[in-house]
Structure 1
Amino acid sequence: MNGNLTLDELYAAANEMCRKWWETEYTGTIRLTSVNWHRREACFAHSTNGFSVQEIRMSRKVNARFTREHVLGNLLHELVHWRLFTQGIPHTDADPEFVRECIRVGAPFSLSKKAQRAAELYGGVTQ
């Protein structure tokens, strides 16, 4: 397992993915925590009354359980949330716009039942 990427590596990967898929730089923040999440692999958090907070949160302990490729897939998934949010487009795992953008860029889907149903319904994808 080699999923313990540094913040510098995560930012570099985020900017590379953003340039590739959306021709822009990543303008949010990335936070690495020490929390040992059991039900999530990463998340995108944002303010509800503006754009002041745009943050991808990942756990060092969770990332350590996965391969580099898996962690980068999680990062791409969260970047899809970020990109759609910044464009004012619905961006939850259950939104058809989110599903279609994940398919377009090759981002993995969350394993939650809601996300899996949306992937099947809007994209014909099951995992």
Structure 2
Amino acid sequence: MTLDELKTAANELALKHWGVPYTGGFELVNRKWRRMYACFSFNNVTGKCAIRMSSAVNSQRTREEVLGSLLHELVHWRLWSQGLPVHDTAEEFIAECIRVGAPISGTKNAQHAYERYMARTEAN
């Protein structure tokens, strides 16, 4: 997907799930990342944030997978913009990913946090 397509998709997804357009920056780099599909960076002092993706990584994934990663990063953005915890292991983050259908990070910590969250919510 091109940068323009990703920006358009980010706005459409943000409007669909939260009723607001995506207000952060967007960067498409040409490096092949080994351990991640995308990332959300933010600066609480300046109030600036951005989603970064790799065109090299995206080219090896399906459109659906790329959009899933984009939605995952948009969950980070939305929670950050609301002053809520944004880490992949935060209960609020996991709950919002589940609500909007975003994939959970594949890291061990994130997967364990997801399992703990699911065990707690299923027990209630």
For the aligned pair, the TM-score class normalised by the smaller chain equals over 0.9
- Tell me: higher relative CO, structure 1 or 2? Use CA pairs within 8 A at least 6 residues apart: 1
Which residue does 2:78 correspond to in 1? Answer: 83
Identify the match of residue 26 of structure 1 among 22, 26, 29.
22
Give the gaps of 5 or more residues in structure 2. 120-124
Contact 1:100–1:123 (8 Å) recurs in 2: no
What is the one-letter code of the residue matched to 1:70? E
Over residues 37-70 of structure 1, what are the superposed CA-to-partner deviations in whole Å (9 max), with x where a residue is unaligned? 000110000013241x210000000001100000
Structure 2 residue 4 is the aligned partner of structure 1 residue 15: no
Cα separation, 2, equivalents of 1:50 and 1:29: 13
The list of structure 1 runs, each at least 4 consecutive aligned residues, that deviate by more than 4 angstroms after superposition, is none
Q: Distance in 2 between matches of 1:82 and 1:123?
A: 23
Distance 1:48 1:7 in 2: 25
Secondary structure, counterpart of 2:45 in structure 1: coil
From 78, 90, 100, the counterpart of 1:95: 90
Question: Which residue matches 2:58?
Answer: 63
Q: Give the structure-1-normalised TM-score.
A: 0.91
**Could you list the runs of 5+ residues in structure 1 that have no partner in the other structure?**
none
Maintained 8 Å contact 1:17/1:76: yes
Q: Which amino acid in the other structure matches residue 5 of structure 2?
A: E
Q: What is the percentage of aligned positions where both structures have the same residue?
A: 53
For normalisation by structure 2, the TM-score amounts to: 0.93
Q: Is the 8 A contact 1:34 1:60 kept in 2?
A: yes
Q: What is the aligned residue count?
A: 119
More helix by share: 2
Q: CA RMSD in A?
A: 0.9
Three-state SS of the structure 1 residue aligned to 2:105 is: coil
